[in-house]
Structure 1
Amino acid sequence: MTLPADASATDAELLRIRGFLSAFTRRQAERTVDFPGGFAALDDAYALSHGNNHVLVDGTPDPAALPGVVDELLAHLPHRTVYVPDAAVGRACAGPLREAGYTRAVVLLMRHTGPVPERGGAREVDLPALRGPVAESWRRFLPDASDEVVGTLVDRRAARLRGAADVRFLASHDEFGEVASWADLYVDPATGVAQIEDLVTAEPYLGQGHAGVVLDTALRLAAAAGATTTFLTALADDWPRHWYARRGFVAVGEVHCFERA
Structure 2
Amino acid sequence: MTDGVLLHLVEPPAWRAALRAGSVAPGPDGFVHLSAPEQVHLPAQRLFPGRRDLALLVVDPARLPEPVRWEPGHPDDPAGSLFPHLHAPLPTWSVVAVLPYRPPTPVELPAPDDALGRAVALYSSVPVRRAVGVGDVPGGVAVLDPDLPHSRDNNRLVLTRPVTAAAVAAAAEEVGGNAGWPHLAALLTWPGAGAVAAELTGLGWNAEELVLMGRPADLPAPEAAVRAEVVDQREVHELWDRGWRRDLAGLGADQLEPVVRQLVDREQLNDRVLAVTDVVVREHGRVVAAAQLRVDGATAAVESVMTEPDARGRGYGDAVLARALELASATGCDLVVLEAAGDDWPRHWYARRGFTGLGSTWSVDRPA
Could you say whether these structures have the same fold, taking a TM-score greater than 0.5 normalized by the shorter chain as the test? yes
Distance 1:72 1:106 in 2: 24
Distance 1:118 1:240 in 2: 15
The answer for the alignment partner of 1:89 in structure 2 is 193
Q: Does 1:61 align with 2:170?
A: no
The answer for the alignment partner of 1:4 in structure 2 is none
**AA in 2 matched with 1:17:** A
Change in Cα spacing, 1:118 to 1:240, as seen in structure 2 (3 Å) is: closer
Q: 2:182 aligns with which of 78, 103, 110?
A: 78
Alignment TM-score, normalising by the size of structure 2: 0.64
Please say if residues 119 and 217 of structure 1, whose CA atoms lie closer than 8 Å, have aligned partners that are also in contact.
no
Alignment TM-score, normalising by the size of structure 1: 0.88
Q: What does 1:223-242 align with in structure 2 at a 5 Å threshold?
A: 223-242=329-348
Q: 2:258 aligns with which of 110, 124, 148?
A: 148
The percent identity for this pair of structures is 32
Gaps of 5+ in 2: 1-110
Return the offset for 1:199: 0.6
Return the offset for 1:118: 7.6
What is the SS of the residue equivalent to 2:230? strand
Q: What does 1:1-261 align with in structure 2 at a 5 Å threshold?
A: 12-75=114-177, 76-92=180-196, 94-95=198-199, 97-113=200-216, 115-117=219-221, 121-145=227-251, 146-164=256-274, 166-174=275-283, 176-189=284-297, 192-261=298-367
> Could you list the per-position Cα deviations for residues 75-124 of structure 1 after superposition, in whole angstroms to 9, with x for gaps in the alignment?
111201111122413424532x2343212111100102571328672122
Instruction: Name the one with the larger helix percent.
Output: 1
Gaps of 5+ in 1: 1-8
| Greater alpha carbon shift after TM alignment, 192-201 vs 139-148 | 139-148
Distance 2:333 2:175 in 1: 35
Return the offset for 1:234: 0.8
- Which structure carries more relative contact order (alpha carbon 8 Å, separation 6+)? 1
> Could you list the per-position Cα deviations for residues 120-152 of structure 1 after superposition, in whole angstroms to 9, with x for gaps in the alignment?
721221122112111111111221231111111
- Counting matched residue pairs gives 248
